[in-house]
Amino acid sequence: AQTVTQSQPEMSVQEAETVTLSCTYDTSESDYYLFWYKQPPSRQMILVIRQEAYKQQNATENRFSVNFQKAAKSFSLKISDSQLGDAAMYFCAYREYNNNDMRFGAGTRLTVKP
Amino acid sequence: ETGVTQTPRHLVMGMTNKKSLKCEQHLGHNAMYWYKQSAKKPLELMFVYNFKEQTENNSVPSRFSPECPNSSHLFLHLHTLQPEDSALYLCASSQDRLGTGRRTEAFFGQGTRLTVV
């Protein structure tokens, strides 16, 4: 089974600063999708950004961007200009190209300091 | 609002009770999931339904029984649960037929916080 590892249980960032959350994964597949989800205290899991493995270009969504290193099986999330509303649990997730089975990491709790 | 609605939001039940969790999606998706989220553990995939057919059962105890009457509704029937089953149960949906350019991510409901006493 594919595994997703988030080695940072907790991270903290100053408001307006930049923070990077790490994620590595293990797979023997060449085609797959990677995601970052945000789970605020409301418990709603919200998609932040996604990356298709066949694309070399790193995905970007406003203040959120990823550093996708396919050979290293690394998929980090960078949050620029951090805002108080960014405080949440962040989960990295993996999904095979033709499989609905989505696997999640253990999560990183991000605190944003004013 | 993600288009996935779960009820109830909170549930407290005794170990001898029978209850059901409900999930409804309004996104036209044809794959639905149950996940279990326990404290300090990764989300655990419990069940997957594609086109109303169960395609995955990750060694979930039989005291959890899923039901998918149609592509829009998913239930999780609970009976004789244990205190360690207390967790947040998340429902999600997505579109099958990957590789067609369609959205591939899962959309989640807000979860049911289950406490077994």
CB contact under 8 A, A100 and B88: no
How far apart, in Å, are the Cα atoms of A80 and each of A16, A18, A35, A36, A63?
A: 7, 4, 18, 15, 5
Are A6 and A106 a contacting pair, CB within 8 Å? yes
A1-12: average pLDDT: 89
Closest residue by Cα to residue B20 from B54, B66, B52: B66
Chain A contact for B88 (CB, 8 A cutoff): yes
Average pLDDT on A49-71 reads 94
Compute the distance between CA of residue A3 and CA of residue A65 in angstroms, rounded to an integer. Answer: 22
Among A residues 30-49, those touching chain B with beta carbons less than 8 Å apart = 31, 33, 35, 37, 42-47
pLDDT in the model for residue B100: 54
A97: confidence class by pLDDT, cuts 50, 70, 90:
confident
Compute the average pLDDT of residues A53-68.
94
SS3 B33: strand
| Token representation of residue B90 | 């998340």
Q: Which residues of B touch A25 (CB under 8 A)?
A: none
**pLDDT score at B36:** 95
Residue of A nearest to B112 (CA): A43
Looking at residue A26, its pLDDT comes to 94
Both tokens of A65, joined, read: 């961007």
In chain A, DSSP assigns E strands to 3-5, 10-14, 19-21, 24-26, 32-39, 46-52, 60-61, 64-69, 74-79, 88-96, 102-104, 108-113
> How far away is chain B from the Cα of A92, in angstroms, using its nearest Cα?
10
CA terminus-to-terminus distance, chain A: 40
- Per-chain mean pLDDT for chain A: 93
Q: Collapsing DSSP states into helix, strand and coil, what is residue A85?
A: helix
List the single residue in B45, B50, B90 with the smallest CB-CB distance to A45.
Answer: B90
Per-residue pLDDT of chain B (117 residues; tens, 9 = 90+): 779 999 999 999 999 899 999 999 999 888 899 999 998 788 888 998 887 677 767 789 999 999 999 989 999 999 999 999 999 999 999 886 554 545 578 899 999 999 999
Q: How confident is the model at residue A2 (pLDDT cuts 50, 70, 90)?
A: low
Q: Is the pLDDT of residue A100 over 90?
A: no
Q: How far is CA B57 from CA A67, A91, A114, B109, in A?
A: 33, 22, 44, 20
Distance from CA of B24 to the nearest CA of A (A): 15
